Amino acid sequence: MMPVEFFSATVTEADRKFEQACLKHRLEHRFYTHPQTGPNGEALNLGVCRLGPANADNRLLVLSATHGIEGYAGAGIQTGWLQQFGDMELPDQTSVVMVHLLNPWGVAWNRRENEDNIDVFRNVLYCDHPSEPDPLYDRVDDAMDLEHWPNTGSESRQKQADALIEEYGIDGLIAAIRRGQHHRPKGMTYHGDGPCWSKSRLDEVVVDELTGARRIAVIDIHTGFGEYGEGLVMSYDPPGSDRYRRVTEWFSGDIYTPGSDANIPDHTSRLPFAWIESMLSGSSVTAEILEFGTFDPADIGEIFHANHHYHVYGDPLSPEGLEWGSRYRRYCYPEEDEWKQKVWRRGAEVIETTLAGLSAWSRENEG
């Protein structure tokens, strides 16, 4: 298969290609079926595959579609890697676990969020430890008035936004929304009030596939930030920590540290995937976010607001809802060969580099 063929246009196609890659190398795999269906009645699944021994000391966990529609990129990387390297001899005491389409509902419905308007990435972080409310979030949410979005008019919305920008600055407004909240279930970046379906299934996978591991590396694949096709490796761990040092060393210092841009908040109160250590006694986790750039956010207009409105307050299958959903999908998933080729090359490179880093981490402990 050519690299562009690793990628898919529908969740059904993505599941089929993922399963074919597993079957090609006789890899252990399974699917969890989501309780809801896609817009055309299609089944939605979360797939799991393991390459290597079930009792390995070192395990790499690779996730796609934590943010729903962004998952086509990660699914393409996972399928391509399994197709090309599914029969490779891994380093000693190492296995790779793929979680394919963690939020399949969001992939099928052109949403970052899940069926309950929950941001799954933030649900993973905060479902058991709610973040502190930010009063500025409520002011921004009220000003956006997404329930009545088609009727308020862009001029009226911009006037309110300009007043808030003058008071708090554009970065302050973006950060308030991007950090999210627990108290407005219909608002943007809703964390949820407990583990959602995807988080519960991920917990099961962690127990089933990672129990007994001494060292766990995580790659969580996203899109929408950075230059077109560029794959930024991020560490959410604080500089100076062993986890941050490891990722920096693995990638020769070429990593992005969240917090310098309001679009990528640092989440310092809850570190992504550190919760795995609390579930698995004796395990240590080092996590990376792999973020692929698409288009300039300044050029996308109000697609985030419009897509939110039609899913939460309107009809996503109406002509208007479908149009905005299509535009939203294109921002998160440019279906262009050049972009797919860049994503595949960088994704495979990051997996290879992380596996080498996991081996180095093992030797470091032995030394």
**Whole-angstrom Cα distance, residue 49 to residue 37?**
22
Cβ of 85: how many Cβ atoms within 10 Å? 18
Strand ranges (E), 119-229: 215-228
Q: Are 350 and 252 in contact (CB under 8 A)?
A: no
Q: What is the pLDDT of residues 160-183, one digit of tens each?
A: 888 888 988 988 888 888 888 999
Tokens at 42, concatenated:
């299609």
For the chain, domain boundaries: 3-129+195-294+333-366, 132-179
Q: Report the C-alpha gap between 309 and 27 in whole angstroms.
A: 42
Q: What does the pLDDT read at residue 264?
A: 75
Q: Are strands 231-234 and 28-37 parallel, antiparallel or unpaired?
A: unpaired
Regions of the chain where pLDDT drops below 50: none
Q: CA geometry: angle at 363 spanning 56 and 96, to 5°?
A: 30
Q: What is the pLDDT of residue 187?
A: 96
Q: Which CATH architecture has domain 3-129+195-294+333-366?
A: 3-Layer(aba) Sandwich (3.40)
Kindly report, residue by residue over 93-105, the tens digit of the pLDDT: 999 999 999 999 9
Strands, sheet with 28-37, edge to edge from the N-terminal-most edge strand: 28-37, 43-51, 94-100, 58-63, 215-228, 284-293, 231-234
pLDDT value, residue 266? 66
Cα gap 222→54, rounded to integer Å: 27
Q: Which two tokens stand for residue 64?
A: 């796609």
What pLDDT shows up at residue 10?
A: 98
For the whole model, what pTM was predicted? 0.96
With b meaning 16 or more CB within 10 Å and e meaning fewer, what string describes 272-295?
Answer: bbbbbeeebeebbbbbbbbbbbbe
φ/ψ of residue 224, rounded to 5: 110, 0
Start-to-end C-alpha separation, the chain: 42
- Beta-carbon neighbour count of residue 75 at 10 Å? 28
pLDDT at 120: 97
- The full DSSP string for 95-135 is EEEEEE-SSHHHHHTT-SS-TTSB-HHHHHHHSSSPPPP-H
pLDDT of amino acid 367 = 56
